[in-house]
Each structure stands twice: as structure tokens, then as C-alpha cells.
Chains A and B, each alone.
Chain A
Amino acid sequence: MELIQRNLPALVVVTPLIMGLITSIIGRRGLGWYLAMGTTAAVLAMSIQLLANVLDSGTQTVTYLMGNWPTPFGIGYVVDPLNASVLVIVSIISAVVTLYARKSVASEIAHNRLHFFYALWLFCITGLLGITITGDAFNLYVLLEISSLSTYTLVALGRNRNRRALTAAINYLVLGSIGACFYLLGIAYLYMVTGSLNIADIHDILANKVFPTWSTGAPMYRTTVIAGFAFMAVGLSLKLALFPLHGWLPNAYTYSPSAVSALLASTATKVGAYVFIRVIFTLVGVNFAYTLLHTDTVLMLSAGAAILFGSWMAFRQTNVKKLLAYSSIGQIGYITLGFALGNAGGLTASVIHLFNHALTKGGMFLALGIVAYRTGHTRLQDLRGLGRKLPFTMAAFTAGGLGLIGVPLTAGFISKWYLVSSCIEAGRYEMAAIVLVGSMIALLYTWKVVETIYFGKRDENAPVVKEAPITMLVPVLLLAGGSIYFGIDASLTSRVATAAAHFLLGGAP
């Protein structure tokens, strides 16, 4: 036990990697799902333990040295309150969605490819967890590629249901690769200046040796550092699907298999947001990014546009899966707005919304996956009158929709409350107004769907539909129940998020 406890940070990443490889070799005949389920459950237990360790430890960080090489030279995994909570988000969602995936995936993907699917599934989770936990900027890039490459393939596997999954995957592949390349270029520029790839080390060198010279007559590497940061910011915005770089997202979410949509919507962009927060607050520092370069203004403009545009485009969709995809673009706007404010309240709002939106949107995509499983489609007219046929699924979907609006007693309310109050605290009244307008549009598009579900009349000759199998229903209810629970009792989430926000601002120069 002590052995596991000590190697926890490495095991969180290595376990899904090794199990993914084993799945690709022996995972045929349905064994793949059992391997994936066991792995994600184990990873969930480990990341919860890690979060507990971090919050209990006096320094608020746990460091692990790969191969016992000291950090600027080797790769160090650093767990702090922020990434421990992102780890927990990713592993909760992946365990719950894996439970759901068994029937859903079996109905959407050719059976001789299933072991391949679960191997990629585990690689994707490996990458996401690794990005979150690593303290090395280049290692982060490698893990970003692991998760992205497997994601492209997972999206393309939706082709059995709709051929457009292939074009969506190619589109995502091209844009995602550009994003990753930009991030890599940015790292290269910073490496030119600092000679280090360790995030904490780069930060120290920049803050102590490079930035002080900028106020003197001979500024060192000014253009290089700015170019490096600019490349990283644009690359990460692409990965995060921040408006106007969101082009790949709607089709990738719409045409991928249901379980993949849920996993992507609730983890991939969240991890992207986490990396962005990480780069701004612990790599280059707030003073450089916000005070000197005014990145916060750009981010706020993008976030505001994302909220309005995403919500409005969501309202206009007739395919519910695409509606949720556009709504995700809006929700990414809220997350970005939180950390663009740069104060403790805004960061808390960001981190809370990472978690709340993962639960809410994950639950909604899963509920929609049940509709696709039972009716074969996710168009708005296919949902007509399903409120009576799939009572539990549709109740969960509605609960999620209320969360997107931000109705009190849902998790969405808590995040919006934090967000609006910190907008006001920062004197950004116009942003607070945008958040409220975005919520009004969310009310419109949620109502559009809910009305169809409960008051629409099902076609006479439509096939008979019955409630989902229990293994698909339980994950949906878990996530929907979680989004209600954390709306009523937010003490746990806000405690973790506040710790993360204070850690970030304390760690900043």
C-alpha cells in the first residue's frame, strides 16, 4: 500500500497507459470494456487519494521525480490543489462515461474494432491526466499529442452512424495539430531564453533574471518572450475552442460516438482551460500576461463573444447534439471570463465552473446518447414526446438544461453567482451583463428542447421507445444528481476551488 501511495502521481498516468496497451493486445471479445472500466475506477480512486494528500500536506504540493532525476533536468510531476481537482474531474467523468460506454459504444462501433476503441479511450484519458499532472512544459506537449491523436481517431470512429464524422475528424486533426504546433513553438521560444523546460524553473528564471531587465535601458529577450507567449496563447485557445478559434468543435462533438462526445465535452476542453490558466499564472505570471500585455482584455473580448455567439448559435440548431456543442462554446466563454478577470473570485468561478460544467454537460450528452441509442437520431423532432417514454433520461436532461441556464439549486447557479459577483468586484459591469444575457439565451434554447420533450406529440407511426438499460441510465443519473447536489451543497467544490485560486495567486509573482 505504501508503495502505491508513494508512487501515486506516476501511477495515475502510467496505469491507463499500460492498460491501454494491454487492451490493444488482448482486449478482443468484449474484454476491452472490462479492462477500461477497471482501469478508470482505479484511476478515480488514486486521484481522489491524491487530492486528499495535497490538501492535507502543509506545502499544498506533492512532487514526484521521474527516474529520480532532480527537477530542472528530469521530468517532475507536481500536484497542487488546482491540478489535483482537475485530475478528480477528469477521472470521475472518465469512470462514469466508461460505465455508460459499454452498450452505447457496442451499438455504434463495429465489433472487431472494440478493443481498438477502448485502447484509444484509455490513451486519451492517459493524455488528459498526464497534461494535468505534469510540471514539465515539454512533457505536457507530448501528453497533449497523446490525447489529441487518440481523440481524432475516436471522433472518426463515429463514421458508422454518420460519414461526416470523417470530415469532422480531419478538420479537428488539422486545427488541433496547428494548435499543438503553436504551443510547441512557444515552448521553443521560452527554451531559447531560459534554457529550461520545467514550468516552475522557467517561471523563476523569467521573473528573476529576464523581466527585471525590461525596466532598464537594455531589455533582454523582450520580443522572444512575447512571441513565445503569443504562440502558446493562440495554440491553447485553439485547443480550448475559444471563440473565434472554435471552428473544429461543433462537428467533432456532433458526429463522434455518444460516449466520446460526453468524454470530450466534459474533459478535453476543461484540460485545455487548465493548461491556459497554468501558462498564465504559473509559467509567465499575471504581471507579464495581464499588466504588461493586456491579454486579459483580449481574453475577455473573446469570452464575451463566445458567450453570446455560442448561446445564440445553440438556439438556432435543430440537431440537439449540435445545440449542446454550441452551448459548450458559450460555457468555455464563462470559464475563460473567470480567469481573465484575474482576481481570486474569478479564478474560483473558473475552477468551480470547470467541475460543474463537466458534470452538467457530460450528463446531457450521455442522456442524448440514450436518445440516439433508442431512436437512432438526435434531431429535435426525434425528441418529441420522449418525456413520457424516457422519463428518467429526460428528467436528467432537463436538470442539465437548468444547470446551463443557472437556475438556483443547480450547480450552474453556483458558478454564475461566483462569476457575476467577481465581475462586479473587478468593476466589469459590462461582463456581468453579458453573463446574464448569455443565461437568458440559454433559457431560450433549453426551453426549446424541453418544450419538445414534454409537450411535443410523438408521431403515430414512430417506433416504440422504452427507457434505457440500467448501465446507461445510472451514469446519466449520477452526473445529473451530482449537478443538483453540488448546486445545493457547494461547500466541497468551493473549498477546493478557493484553495486552487489562492494557490495560483500566491504562486504568481
Chain B
Amino acid sequence: MKDNVLMRIAARWNMPFMLIFALYTQTHGELGPGGGFQSGVMIAAAFIVYGMVFGGHEMRRIVPRWVTDIAAGLGVLIYAGTGVYCMLMGYEFLDYTAIMPGNPGGGAPWGMTSVEYGVGITVAAVMITVFNEITEGTAPEDNTIIMEKQ
């Protein structure tokens, strides 16, 4: 698909908007609908569109496998780490009061934000891993998706 000008331009120009919207959804997480999961999917989608147009190997040049491997674990660690932090401060697991003990309810946005970032990172990493697992090795040098061959 990378020989098609329209596709190339569309993929390249859409990517920043997709990422920005993903970040918006991410930061909006504790205030309204949406949050970590959705934004993780959008981040992954931005990279996957890029990978579909320019080829999986090209995408893996930007996001190498070791990055997604570590990010997948790191996200859940952020989530669980938030819980453990609350525990260490002498509250229950994931009791956000621990983050701002003086201000009832004040810790919740911070706690949820950090939990949502954890979710977002893991979801994005796992989505990209799934794409990698499906496309890797389907074509010798160009991993553009099978659609092109038809």
C-alpha cells in the first residue's frame, strides 16, 4: 500500500490527530466516559494504520518489540503499584484516600488518573503485540497486509 500516494499521505497526516485524541481521552479518564482502555486502543490504532500502510517491519522500526514487551508489563505494574502505594501509606489496596489524606475524595482523581495511564499503556502495547504476532512473517520483506495482494 505504500505505493499509493493517497494512503501514504492519509496515514501520515492522520497519525498525529489520532494520538492527540487518544491523549485527550486518556487525560479525560477520571472525569467522564472513556479512559485508559479506549485511549490505549486509539494509540495502538494509530501505529497499526501506519504499519498497514508502510509495512509491519517499518512500524517495528519505530516501536521495537522490546518496547511493547516492557510496556505491556509496565502498565499493569503502574496499576498495581498505585494500589500498593495506598497499602504502604496504611490504607486498603487501591484506597485513593491515601494519596491526599487531608482532603476526602481529593485523592481519587489522582489515583484514577495513574491507574488509567497504566491501563492505557498496557492496552496499547498488547494491541500492537497482537498486530505484530499476526503480521510477522507473512511476507519476506514487506509486511503490508494481505489486502494488497488481492
Contact = CB atoms under 8 A, between A and B. Distances in A.
Given A10-B87, A21-B73, A64 B80 contact: no
A17 B72 CA distance: 14
Contacts of A22: 73, 77
B80 A18 contact: yes
A66 B77 contact: no
A68 B80 contact: no
Contacts of B69: 24-25
B70 A7 contact: no
Interface string A1-39: 001000100110010011001101100000000000000
Interface in B2-57: none
B27 to A, nearest CB: 22
A65 interface: yes
A7 B87 contact: yes
Given A10-B87, A24-B73, A25-B74, A17 B80 contact: yes
A67 interface: yes
B92 interface: yes
B77 A14 contact: no
A68 B73 contact: no
B84 to A, nearest CB: 7
B140 interface: no
Interface residues of B, number: 22
Interface in A391-448: none
B76 interface: yes
Given A10-B87, A25-B70, A68-B97, A18 B77 contact: yes
A66 B90 contact: no
B83 interface: yes
Nearest to A9: B93
Contact of B96 (A18, A25, A67): A67
A174 B94 CA distance: 34
Interface string B81-113: 101101110111111110000000000000000
A64 B84 contact: no
Contact of B73 (A3, A25, A65): A25
Contacts of B84: 14, 18
B93 A66 contact: yes
Contacts of B76: 17, 21
Contact of A3 (B70, B80, B83, B88): B88
Interface in A426-472: none
A21 B118 CA distance: 13
Contact of A21 (B77, B88, B96): B77
Contacts of A21: 73-74, 76-77, 80
Contacts of B70: 25
A169 to B, nearest CB: 16
Nearest to B92: A68
Contacts of A11: 87
A46 B91 CA distance: 19
Nearest to B77: A21
B83 A14 contact: yes
A10 B88 contact: no
Nearest to A18: B80
Contact of B92 (A10, A17, A24): A10
A14 B80 contact: yes
B37 to A, nearest CB: 14
B92 A67 contact: yes
A29 B128 CA distance: 26
B1 to A, nearest CB: 33
A247 B59 CA distance: 42
User: Which of A24, A25, A64, A67 counts the most chain B CB atoms within 10 A?
Assistant: A67
A67 B74 CA distance: 21
A410 to B, nearest CB: 41
Interface string A339-376: 00000000000000000000000000000000000000
Nearest to A116: B69
A22 B73 CA distance: 7
A58 to B, nearest CB: 22
Nearest to B71: A25
A82 B148 CA distance: 59
Contacts of B80: 14, 17-18, 21
Contacts of B88: 3
Contacts of A14: 80, 83-84, 93
Nearest to B75: A21
A18 B74 CA distance: 10
Given A14-B83, A25-B69, A25-B70, 13 more contacts: A3-B88, A3-B90, A7-B87, A7-B93, A11-B87, A18-B77, A21-B76, A21-B77, A25-B77, A66-B94, A67-B96, A68-B91, A68-B97
CB-CB nearest 10 A-B residue pairs = A67-B94, A10-B93, A68-B95, A68-B92, A21-B73, A25-B73, A24-B73, A67-B95, A21-B77, A18-B80
Interface of B: 69-70, 72-74, 76-77, 80-81, 83-84, 86-88, 90-97
16 contacts: A3-B87, A3-B90, A7-B87, A7-B93, A10-B83, A10-B92, A11-B87, A14-B83, A17-B76, A21-B73, A21-B74, A21-B77, A22-B73, A22-B77, A64-B93, A66-B92
